[in-house]
Amino acid sequence: MGALRIPSTTGGEKAKALVESVDTEAACALLASGQYGYIDVRMWEDFDAGHVAGARNVPYYLSVAPRGKPERNPHFVEQVAALHAKGDRLLVGCRQGVRSSLAAADLVHAGFKNVKNLQGGYLSLLKSANPQPTAYYNQY
């Protein structure tokens, strides 16, 4: 587990917010506890192709051009706030964990108190659920 430090400026003061990143084992335990909601910040088509059971989809980006700058969802924080109170426990995930760390930082800066980032994203969950089979060696 690690933490992402995000510098911010509020009222001229620099502050640092911590967003804790959790590995797949910890994430599965948090979700199994029933105490954490899962926010999937991938785009709709990615979410529709597969997602964590019970996940709520709030895209952080509206579009991603192959060589251009992604178009950020200007209503991301408000859309999450429509689904969850700022005191709710949230686990934020994306495909690989990069976008979700940015999204989690935005939520913390907006006043959400219990936000964790899924390190490695949805792909890490898939990999942990379906690890590559080990090679079978015929002993005969």
- The tokens describing 134, both together, are 């080990």
Could you tell me the CA-to-CA distances from 49 to 28, 36, 46, 52, 69 in Å, in that order? Answer: 20, 23, 5, 11, 24
Specify the DSSP element, H or E, that contains 14: strand 13-22
User: What is each CA distance from 121 to 27, 31, 68, 73, in whole angstroms?
Assistant: 10, 14, 23, 19
In this structure, the dihedral spanned by the alpha carbons of residues 112, 41, 54 and 108, taken in order and rounded to 10 degrees, is -10
> Where in the sequence numbering do the catalytic residues fall?
94
Please give the Cα distance from 107 to 37 (Å, whole number): 14
Task: Give the Cα separation of 140 and 135 in Å (integer).
Answer: 15
